[in-house]
Structure 1
Amino acid sequence: MFKIEVNPSELEQMIMSAVQKALEQSPFASSQTHPTLMDKKQLMEFLKIGATKAAELLNREDFPVIREFGHPRVPFHSLMAWIDEHTEWVKANAKGFWEQRGGVA
């Protein structure tokens, strides 16, 4: 039988490193890979939805959209927060997680 001894701080560092690498590879990890303000076409590409569904979202009262620029624009960070707020799994399984991290996804 093998016995492995691991320093808890080294284990924590290894886990944090692995998580960081996974987050860096995620398309949702950072707004640096996405425009700060998305137009309808960019929103459609990002969410992989068609024009009809994009129009439905852009016309919802609770959807984060700015119309002051002539055409609707969606702030990326607000979109990610809106997705978190409207995802049932997140509500059921990650209660308080984002608050502990100091914000939204």
Structure 2
Amino acid sequence: MLKVTLDADQLQQLINDAVDKAIERHALKDQLDPVLTRKQFMDLTGVGETKCAELFNREDFPVCREFGYPRVRTEKLFEWMDEHTNWVKDNIDREAKLRVI
């Protein structure tokens, strides 16, 4: 039998942190243009020309070239980032193991 114990304070802190991050993210999304230029993308993400070119040429990256110059749909960028972020998977597994008795 597997027994799991949760500390109410730790659980509340995890929930609060998740909610705060969600609020910040949605506030940021509302401030951004729906379609980002190459420069706006680099400013937002803090990447340089080389990394930007690398990302814009990936098949799975949400870039649109139909406007004459590459553009990134902001909504699709955040979805792509969620799909390509390992931190959540790595840390959820680690935290779950720490709580198992």
**TM-score > 0.5, shorter chain as reference:** yes
Structure 1 segments unaligned to the other structure (5+ residues): 1-14, 95-105
Decide which of 62, 73, 84 is 1:86's aligned counterpart.
84
TM-score (norm 2): 0.64
Cα RMSD, aligned residues only: 2.4
Q: Deviations over 1:51-91 (max 9, x none)?
A: 11111100000000110000001000100000000001233
Q: Normalized against structure 1, the TM-score is what?
A: 0.62
The number of equivalent residue pairs is: 77
Aligned sequence identity (%): 47
* Alignment correspondent of 1:41: 39
Partner Cα separation in structure 2 for residue 29 and residue 92 of structure 1: 24
Query: 2:26 — aligned with what?
Result: 29
Structure whose residues are more often helix by fraction: 2
Cα distance in structure 1, aligned partners of 2:31 and 2:53: 23
Higher relative contact order (CA 8 A, sep 6+): 2
Equivalent position SS for 2:26: coil
Q: Secondary structure at the match of 1:45?
A: helix
Unpaired runs of 5+ in structure 2? Answer: 1-14, 93-101
Question: What is the distance in 2 between the residues matched to 1:80 and 1:92?
Answer: 19
